[in-house]
Amino acid sequence: MFSALLMLFCGCSNSPPPADEYAVNIYGSKYAVDTYSISATGLTPPEGQLGFSYDKYVRRYKAARPLHELQGLAFLLQTHKGDTLLSTMLIEPFVCFSLPSYSAKRSDGWAVKETHQYSVTDSGELLKDNHPQADFSYSCEISSPDGRNGDALSTYQSTLARCDEPARSGTQIRAVFSDPAWSSTVSGDTCQAVYLDFSASLLGEFMFLPATNTQLSVQLAQCIGADAAGVSRIDAAIADSPCIYRNIATWVDLTGGQGAQAFPVGGSWTITTTDLASGHLEAEVDMQFAATGSWPAFSIQGHVDLPLLEMNGR
**Model pLDDT for residues 164-195, shown as the tens digit of each residue:** 999 899 999 999 998 988 989 999 999 999 88
- The yes-or-no verdict on residue 227 having pLDDT over 60 is no
**How far lies 122's CA from each of 24, 78, 133, 273, in Å?**
19, 14, 11, 31
CA distance 191 to 45: 36
Share of the chain above pLDDT 90, in %: 48
- The yes-or-no verdict on residue 33 having pLDDT over 90 is no
Q: Confirm if 236 and 264 have CB atoms less than 8 A apart.
A: yes
Domains of the chain, by residue range, sit at 20-155, 166-311
Mean pLDDT of the chain: 83
**Is the bond into 296 cis (omega within 30 degrees of 0)?**
no
What pLDDT score was predicted for residue 134? 61
Residue 295 phi/psi, 5-degree rounding, is -90, 140
DSSP assignment string, 77-119: EEEEETTEEEEEEEE---TGGG-TTHHHHHHTT-EEEEEEEEE
76 has which bridge partners?
Answer: 41, 90
- The yes-or-no verdict on residue 30 having pLDDT over 80 is yes
- The yes-or-no verdict on residue 295 having pLDDT over 60 is yes
What is the Cα 187 distance to its own chain's centre?
A: 20
Residues 6+ apart with CB under 8 A from 98: 140, 153, 160
The helix, strand and coil proportions of the chain, stated in percent and rounded to the nearest 5, come to 10, 50, 40
What pLDDT score was predicted for residue 240? 42
pTM here?
Answer: 0.72
